[in-house]
Structure 1
Amino acid sequence: MPPRIASGGSRGRGGPPTRGGPPTRGRGGAAAPPSTASHVTTVGVRRTAYGTAGRKIPVFTNHFPVSIPDSVIHHYDGVINGSSEKTLPARLNMELIERLQKVTAPDVFTPRAVYDGRKNMFAARELPFGPEVTSREFDVTLVDPAEAPQSASGKGPKVYKIRLTHVATINPEVLLRFLEGKQSHDNTVLTAITALNVVVRMQPTIQWPFNVRSFFTDRETKDIGSGIVLWRGYFQSVRPAPGRMLINVDISTGTMYMPGPLINLCLAYLDRRNPLALAPGGQDGLPERERIRLQRFISGIRVFTNQPNRPQGGRANRTPRVIKKLTTAGASRLSFQLHDGATMTVKDYFQKTYNYTLKYPSIICAEVGSGALVPLELCDVEAGQIMRKQVPPEKTKDVLDFATKRPNDRLESIKRGLGVLAYGQSEYVRQFGMHVDTTTATLGLDARVLQPPTLKYGEGSRQPNITPSNGAWNMIDKKFYRPVEIKQWIMVIYETDRRFDRANANATAKGLLSACLEVGIRVQEQNPMIFYLNAQGRIGGDLARAGNACKQKNSIMPDLIVAILPEGGTDTYTAIKHFGDITVGVPTQCLKAHKCKSAKAQYFANVCLKINVKLGGINTIPEPRSVSILTDPHNPTIVMGADVIHPAPGADGRPSFTALVGNVDSDSAKYVADCRVQTSRQELIEDLEDMSRRILMQYMAYRSHVEKKANTAPKRIIFYRDGVSEGQFRQVLDVELPRLKQACASLKINPTITVVVVGKRHHVRFFPQRPGDADKSGNCPAGTVVDHDVTHPLELDWYLQSHSGLLGTSRPAHYSVLHDENRFTPDGLQALSFALCHVYARSTRSVSIPAPVYYADIVCSRAKNHYDPQGALHFSDDITHTDAKAASQLEEFRANFKPLHVNMTRVMYFS
């Protein structure tokens, strides 16, 4: 055996279609709201009406009706190994439960139960543990003792103890009552929905690699290099809808490790050819930084270890082992201690024990979970292993290309997926008395296309008011609503003058000046100072010297710094933003050198969209009469967007970042932001009270000093919250809403508050039934809204596809109203949300979510700009930490987070 080192998962609303028929219809074909009993409670706002505005179009959706079981379901709590604290991988748990049911105790599990891979087991009949016995323990091995090879210590195969305890009996009648509005969405309903999800997922999770609610097959794959292979997968989720249960089916993408020899995987990841490149040191060897990067990539994967020179007929070790880390030395230099105290190298061990001469004795070894050291050449990667780490940035496009499908192609792929899912052939689905109706191919329903808001541009525009067409418009012959004036600006170039010479620089300056003139931005300096700077130098110091040179020449500092960056200039970009946004408070605009060299007028016009708002201007506003909710002078309204971003999987020691964005003007077009750092992977916003207070104070100051309003306090707050799972809705109401109210109370204001969660992480899609209703990409048109048939049975929610499609199938945003003191109508909230998708300053297209939410997401993603680029803290994915080190570094991130420069707190620096 190999030498050893000396010892020294969101709650969802999933659910299948119910025994009930389709929801009842009122006049005009809209589903009538459920008649909810008075005792029924909801988490969010109860639906009392459906929207009616807009023109109707028929659409398909990727949902299928599923029946509710007629008989009771028995719920069991499963503990494997006798301890609920040591968590085994879900894949291993599934194997153990399958073994338990088929081999260990088949008489107990007839018919077979279903299992979620963690703690929940559901059975269609009560398991026969014995009279008045509610719990039973089983001993399970993954192989038969007679067939298992003996270990060196003489022990047989590992025995796992599985204890099952009956915890509840689920009457599916509660689901029917819930769908009819006669039952609250409590734990009994949640558990019933969970049971149905486990039933439909049981068969594919036994057969294929799985990840939460998706599983992946090798029927359609793509090798994208770097040791990564993409597999086509299928998502499925049983969900409640008005009057029935549905199953939501969609395609998904799994990133898998390349199977086969481990050496090949390592070389592919490092983009090397020669196995000797995995030897430490030397000019062509493996640098320590690359070893750590590789270790991070492959740690946790399962490999089969091959016994060298195995005798004919002998057994190979087909029990996979988990890679813990990579050694720092090669097999010929890596020593370990024997039981007698002597030492031996790994190379000599395999020579002496197995009479095997290593092909590559100089390359590193893998340390597996048991502590054994195994040469890479003796390891094979098990097929079908999901890579649960962040995809390298350079491979993102390959993943998107594989995942992106045009609407018709996606719908056809979903239909083909039904054959893979094979609900009718699943013994588990049948024995629970469920039936998935796939005969009608896809569910059809009526959607509505909302009227977009009218947008207002500035004086001098040939057409000051325009109505977008399918989510798009243009800036031809239009002036910004409030253009800024630039007195002085400079250009700094981080590309070499050989690749971006003076002629390129002058052409870029001329293009920008011409674009500014077109949109109404007044620029006094027509011949800006141009500096060529070193991207490897001290960015902040060089920029400061360039700014001082401008001041010496023109007596004032520049209002704007335009930076020209080379390809791959991410670090330079971060340093420039830190200097401008955090250190000195001067707006910066970064451009790519290769884009500037071939840029047309449209490119510079788009750049002006960003520059104008960064300097305090306003590009366009919704015409007040088209968004009366926002512009009612008797009810001044502030719209907020909030988001939290978490570190990538495995990035221990990194914090989460929070952002709050809110408008300060009466037209909901000019926004300010606040960003904070908080505990890693905590979803609720810790500093929401203080952040809200600061945004509200700026809103009131702007109304008082700039707009000269007498009533400065907002009467209404509309709070859009991004990134919250359905299981956290109650926490938003119990924790974040009180913090927002406390901020108002501290300022002695009492606005009415509406809280809406905006979700994009779902698999609901809509497909136009008639070609004439589709946009150029084949998607539903911008403004398509669906608020019935596939929505929540009791609560106010809707799906809104607010943008026009470009590539692939558009994903609608899902809006859930959690709290509404303003008593808005569904039509009012839907029109408001759609209008806010048109005031995103960086584009002349409507976007997929309301602008304040979009801005909050951008502010979160730019939180790294708040750290000194020359400091010790960094955001590289190549470093691993112990738990203690991770906790210590988290505190360092807190302590070194630098706030915005005061100049930038009043402008849209994030645009």
Structure 2
Amino acid sequence: MSHHQGGYQNGHQGGHHRGYQGAYQGGYLPVPSFDGPSDTRSQGSHHSGGGSRSHSRRTSQASGSHMSASHPGSQAPGSAPPSNVGAPSGPVGSRPPSNVGGRSPPRGYPEPLGFDPAREPKKFGEDFNKRIDLPPEAYVKGKLETPFTRRPGLGSSGKKINVQVNQFRVTGMPAHDIFQYDVTFSPDTGKTKPSFLNTLWRTKTAQQKLKCDDKYGPLQFRWLHDGRALAWSRNNVSEMRIMIDMDEERNRMPRPGQSNKFYLIIRRSTTIRLAALKAYLEGSMEWDQSVLACANFFDHLVRQFPSENLLAIKRNFYDTETRDYRPLNRRGTIEAVKGIYAAIRMNSSMKTGGLGLGINVDVTNTTFWHGGEPFTELCTNYVAMSKKEWQYIDTKALHEMMKPEQYQHEDTREYYPGMSDAFKMLRRFHKCKFNVMHRGKSNDPKTYTIQGFVWEPKKFGMEGAHARNYKFTKKSGETITVADHFLQQYGVRLQHWRLPLIETTRDGVFPMECVILKRWQKYNFKLDGEQTAAMIKFAVTRPPVRQNAIMQNVKALRWVDDPYLREFGVKINPQMTPTQARVLQNPVVQFGRKTVDPRTNGRWDLRDQTFAEPNVRPLKSWSIVVVNDCVDAPTASRFANSFADIYKRHGGKIEVMQPKVWRLRMELSGATANEIHKLYKQTGDAYRAVPDLMFFIMPDKGAIQYERLKKNMEIRFATLTQMVNVDHVKKCSPQYCSNVAMKVNAKLGGYTSRLAKVQFYTVPTMVIGVDVSHGGAGSVALSGPLASMAAMTMSMDQNAIKYQAVCETNGYRVEVLTPANIRSIFPNAVRRWCQKNGRAPEHVFYFRDGVAEGQFAHVMDSEIKEVRKVLEEVGRNKPKITVIVATKRHHMRFFPGSGSGDKNGNPLPGTIIEHEITHPFHYDFYLCSHVAIQGTARPVHYHVIHDEIQYPVDKLQAMIYQQCYQYIRSTTPVSLHPAIYYAHLASARARAHEAIESSKKEPWIRFINVMARRDRTDTSSNAPREDSQPLLKIGGEEGLANPQSLEFFKGTMWYI
């Protein structure tokens, strides 16, 4: 906290700024108090996921501890105060200094330019606007010259229907040139926030000069500014230099010897030629920087007016007065808010009379911290809701919970002080913004940012740092605690002085009770079960409700009143765009003896059905293991009997109807692993055969027990397992037993159903699904951040029903599958495929999930290049490869007309769109293959980026749609092609194979550890790194796995 704001800010910082040299002048703290206020109307994310923080920047000290050399402003009791630190002795509320510009230049010298005129300017587009939905070729650079497949034609099969889509056509375009300008300011110290440029632009002086310049006279047209370094206008001027006195703008007296004057420099850089955009949309021109410049201009144009009236966060807008929000937990620390999603998109509407541009408008549901209340209350409530045993704590109890705790080193067995679990949670507030409330002002505009919380038990002992032991030195030489300072300076007697002190990004400190967290700060962490359920309930709306909400959002965007759209001649149709869709013919589902025609219902059931292919490996050597005495033996036996009976009626090959029932007591020790080994051996001995599969009855959904059991059984013994929940075991419903039977049957080599009388493949064909998942916010183990997990699934039969899976860690935050990983996990899978099918594949369909347009080229030039090499080396042939990217991360929704949708207003399974919302000439389409259980259905966007197989359009679309009916553990078609869906499952399941102790990956431990302090020199966990530790090998190194079981395991659907 800085003195003029009622707190303490370290005086040494002023020595780094010109004009201060560490001296205290005129009663003001020697630090820059104005560095460009944050633009609260254009916020980004306020969180970094864990808050990297350098230990060397710690400033607080206590008895018997060492001082940080970089932070002499605080003092340990009994030590001499530093002599070069100024004292905050000025009057409360006195004007702070404004020294952003530094000193004035020497007399006779011109004002500095603020940039190096000899440096080659950055080319536009090198760091372009990330909000724009750009085509994949926009991201191709250097050697990544990958051509993307063009649309070969449109499909024609199926019933044609009319639907409305939540894209709104651009109907009017500028008919004149638009000039683009570079915006800079001078002098620029290099330490100024980027938002300061926007502050200069919005000053009264700048706005007046932009209307009437001394050199050019009255300027007829309005200006559009992107908030940073670009501006656009119909005004044609070469350069403008506007002098702005920030002291004058803020009605403040200038400081002696300190200039607070800046030049805003506006220099014409290029002309926006909309003909280039039109030519690209028509397919007659390749993508280049001129097309990018047009797209960037349009994005800022459609966002400018909404940003002035609503809170803008990336592509979303929020009404700050909205009542459409809901707390996500009982204490209301996190809340969900409905907002507006709006983004401009290029599309294929030119073919039907449009201009090739549209605005995609949707409803967005976002989580925010609950601001506007004392931080002590928010912190107490947040901690209380984060762990069951803490749910009744109050602020007084929080005092004790925040103290350091004693930990024992695993190797040396020595004790050392460490952060308490509750204290670690505070790291989630890293980079949150706050105001202070101890100066008697109800709405103080000064905003601070949380850098961390003072801790350091080596300095402050096992009490931890608090307001009565954290000291700083005044100018007078007096050393004083934060608590005494607040009492003397403001008459505030701190009630919760034992709570940790907040450190700001300016090295100031504040007591928690004097702080109010600002509203509208995104909560970027994974929600727990209760919060997720509340979020789903809040977000899910049926199609008519969502359609109405979207139209209300369009009204809130106020396109008709938008002065910027009017200025540049852009018009937008405020009605949803009608377009043509087709409903593809559903397939007939073949079971063992019967067929089922789901029609448009998209559902069927297993009653009286036998599996199309029963288990290849008969269920003979198996057992039921009761974990932690969650159910008695008779109940477990009753479930086993019911399951065996129902599985046999479905055609399952089961030789032992009554398995052995064992008990397992799980503990966080090596004894559990020994017990599991014992039960594995007992099962095998009981039937004189290697265990085929072992059931585990789980007491709850705890991930730690699940992962430990999976890791033991799969890594050590290569044995299949099936986990069942105790509540379902007690109910023992036939439907649940049937669902379990589908999974067991798949693990033992069978499948539930297939397509009847459909043959898509005339040559040996391999279908591959690839997914790379990343640990979300909070996904950190005690050993460090969780690695990205790559999974490849591969069809093993001629109808692409059964899929094997191979997995491996893929670095950290690395989305594209690394060549080393492909070399590691793919060859053996190909060999297994060739052995099973008797020959190498001639066609390969490569389904890829989770990549954005910007990574399409990397998929082709990294993944496909290496996959092709492996296929040619192992199979000794050159198969044709078709690459299809599928994504659900979009905001397109279909609203069928009357009689064309289901009873809820959702599109019927098989509804496909190729018009209006697709790319002008790339090969893409939107397919809704499933029945939405609740809410509004989200179609999958399929993008064929490379096509050597060249199936006819109708055949490819039918193949993708109809294979969604072959998902092996469902009695409905799924929303995503099964190859990708299985890759999702395998990627999640492979977490159990990580070389990390399961106890160190328990969700709660992940949750608290993500906030642990890291050195600032360490890269963020979001920075891509490829050096992750590989997974443990299935079958392990102990020699416990049976070779035949190991080979069978690898070729079956163990992950299902």
| TM-score grouping bracket, smaller chain normalisation | 0.7 to 0.9
Aligned partners of 1:457 and 1:534: how far apart in 2? 41
Compared CA separation, residues 796 and 379, structure 1 to 2 (3 A): same
Matched, 1:703 2:837: yes
Deviation at 1:301, TM superposition (A): 0.9
Q: Offset at 1:739?
A: 1.6
The match for 1:125 among 231, 235, 238 is 235
Equivalence for 1:679: 811
Question: Does 1:906 pair with 2:1051?
Answer: yes
Q: Distance in 1 between matches of 2:856 and 2:288?
A: 13
Q: Report the alpha carbon displacement of residue 119 of structure 1 after superposing the two structures with TM.
A: 4.8
**How much does 1:612 deviate?**
1.1
Partner of 2:288: 186
TM-aligned CA distance change 1:256 to 1:156, over 3 Å: farther
Matches within 5 A, 1:46-65: 46-65=150-169
Q: 1:191 to 1:518 in 2, by over 3 A?
A: farther
- Counterpart for residue 177 of structure 2: 72
Change (3 A) 1:161 1:495: farther
Following TM superposition, by how much is the alpha carbon of 1:768 offset from its aligned partner in structure 2, in angstroms?
Answer: 1.2
Q: Kindly tell me: are residues 693 and 46 of structure 1, through their superposed partners in 2, closer, same or farther at Cα, counting changes over 3 Å?
A: same
Are residues 1:775 and 2:902 paired?
yes
Q: What is the match of residue 538 of structure 2?
A: 402
**Which residue number corresponds to residue 269 of structure 1?**
382
Instruction: Give distance in 2, aligned partners of 1:684 and 1:891.
Output: 12
Cα deviation for residue 354 of structure 1 reads 2.4
Three-state SS of the structure 2 residue aligned to 1:383 is coil
CA RMSD between the two structures: 3.4
Q: Structure 1 residues 113 and 639, CA, compared in 2 at 3 Å: closer, same or farther?
A: farther
- In 1, distance between residues paired with 2:727 and 2:237? 68
Query: Does structure 2 conserve the Cα–Cα contact (< 8 Å) formed by 1:684 and 1:736?
Result: yes
SS of residue matched to 2:431: coil
Task: After TM superposition, give the deviation of residue 399 of structure 1 in Å.
Answer: 1.4
Equivalent in the alignment of 2:445: 318
Which residue, 310, 313, 317 being the options, matches 1:215?
Answer: 317
Are residues 315 and 400 of structure 1, via their aligned partners in 2, closer, same or farther at CA, if it must alter by over 3 Å? closer
Tell whether the 8 Å contact from 1:99 to 1:140 is kept in structure 2 after alignment.
no
Q: Is it true that 1:250 corresponds to 2:362 in the alignment?
A: yes
Which has the higher mean CA deviation after the structures are superposed, 465-474 or 543-552? 465-474
Question: What residue number does 1:754 align with?
Answer: 882
The alpha carbon displacement at 1:788 in A equals 1.2
Mapped partners of 1:492, 1:216: distance in 2: 52
SS in 2 for 1:681: coil
Structure 1 residue aligned with 2:848, among 721, 733, 750?
Answer: 721
- 2:550 paired residue number: 414
Larger Rg belongs to: 2
Structure 2 partner of 1:36: none
- Say whether 1:299 aligns with 2:412: no
Shift of 1:509: 1.2
CA, structure 1 residues 521+212, in 2 after alignment: closer, same or farther (shift >3 Å)? same
**Which whole-Å CA distance do the structure 2 matches of 1:374 and 1:283 have between them?**
18
Q: TM-score, normalised by structure 1?
A: 0.87
Taking the TM superposition and a 5 Å limit, the aligned residue runs for 1:752-831 are 752-770=880-898, 772-831=899-958
| Correspondent of 1:660 among 784, 788, 792 | 792
- Asked whether the equivalents of residues 96 and 142 of structure 1 are also in contact (C-alpha less than 8 Å), the reply is no
Cα–Cα, structure 1 residues 468 and 289, in superposed 2: closer, same or farther, change >3 Å?
Answer: farther
Q: Find the residue that maps to 1:895 and give its secondary structure.
A: coil
Displacement of 1:306: 2.4
- Provide the C-alpha distance between the structure 2 equivalents of 1:734 and 1:420, rounded to a whole number of angstroms: 43
Between the aligned partners of 2:485 and 2:220, the Cα distance in structure 1 is 50
Instruction: Indicate conservation of the 8 Å contact 2:451/2:505, yes or no.
Output: yes
Task: Output the amino acid matched with 1:44.
Answer: F
Answer whether contact 1:14 1:239 (CA < 8 A) is retained: yes
Letter in 2 for 1:274: D
* 2:992 matched residue in structure 1: 865
In structure 1, give the amino acid aligned to 2:565: V
Query: What is the deviation of 1:465?
Result: 6.2
Residue 578 (structure 1) aligns with:
711
Aligned 1:833-848 pairs, distance under 5 A: 833-848=960-975
Structure 2 SS opposite 1:423: coil
CA contact (8 A) 1:766 1:780 kept: yes
| Count of aligned pairs | 854
Unmatched tracts of structure 2, length 5 or more: 10-58, 61-69, 72-127, 136-144, 214-218, 385-391, 407-417, 456-463, 1036-1045
Question: Which deviations, in whole Å up to 9, do the C-alpha atoms of 1:461-514 show, x marking residues without a partner?
Answer: 2x14655543222222222222121012111222535xx223321222122112
CA contact (8 A) 1:582 1:866 kept: yes
User: In the alignment, which residue of structure 2 is the partner of 1:29?
Assistant: none
Please point out which of 631, 639, 644 is paired with 2:772. Answer: 644
Distance 2:247 2:643 in 1: 69
Aligned letter for 1:607? Answer: V
* Cα distance in structure 1, aligned partners of 2:369 and 2:637: 49
Please give the per-residue CA displacement for 1:753-780, whole angstroms capped at 9, x wherever unaligned.
111110110001001111x222233211
Instruction: Tell me, yes or no, if structure 1 residue 335 matches structure 2 residue 437.
Output: no
Describe the SS at the equivalent of 2:160. strand
**Secondary structure of the corresponding residue to residue 1028 of structure 2:** helix
Cα offset, 1:643, TM superposition: 1.3
Question: Match of 2:568?
Answer: 432
Identify if the C-alpha distance between structure 1 residues 82 and 157 changes in structure 2 by more than 3 Å, giving closer, same or farther.
Answer: closer
Q: SS of the counterpart of 1:894? A: coil
Matches within 5 A, 1:124-523: 124-126=234-236, 129-130=239-240, 144-147=249-252, 166-217=268-319, 218-219=321-322, 220-225=324-329, 226-242=332-348, 243=350, 244=355, 245-260=357-372, 261-271=374-384, 274-281=394-401, 288-308=419-439, 310=440, 317-328=444-455, 329=464, 331-338=466-473, 343-438=479-574, 441-458=575-592, 461=593, 463-464=594-595, 466=597, 469-484=600-615, 485-497=618-630, 500-523=631-654
Q: What is the DSSP-based 3-state SS (H/G/I as helix, E as strand, rest coil) of the residue aligned with 2:968?
A: coil
2:1015 matched residue in structure 1? 882
TM-aligned CA deviation for residue 725 of structure 1: 0.8
- State the Cα distance separating 1:143 from its structure 2 match: 9.1
Contact 1:11 1:727 (8 Å CA) reproduced:
no
Query: Given the superposition, is the C-alpha separation of residues 273 and 822 from structure 1 closer, same or farther in structure 2, using an over 3 Å criterion?
Result: same
SS in 2 for 1:526: coil
In the alignment, is residue 561 of structure 1 matched against residue 665 of structure 2? no
Q: CA deviation at 1:719?
A: 0.6
SS in 1 for 2:8: coil
- The AA in structure 1 aligned to 2:8 is P
Distance 1:161 1:315 in 2: 35
The change in CA–CA distance for 1:207 and 1:595 in structure 2 (over 3 A counts) is: farther
Cα distance in 1, alignment partners of residues 222 and 247 from structure 2 = 18
SS in 1 for 2:790: strand
1:189 to partner: Cα distance = 2.1
Q: Give me the whole-angstrom Cα distance separating, in 1, the residues matched to 2:826 and 2:129.
A: 27
Shift, 1:782, TM fit: 0.4
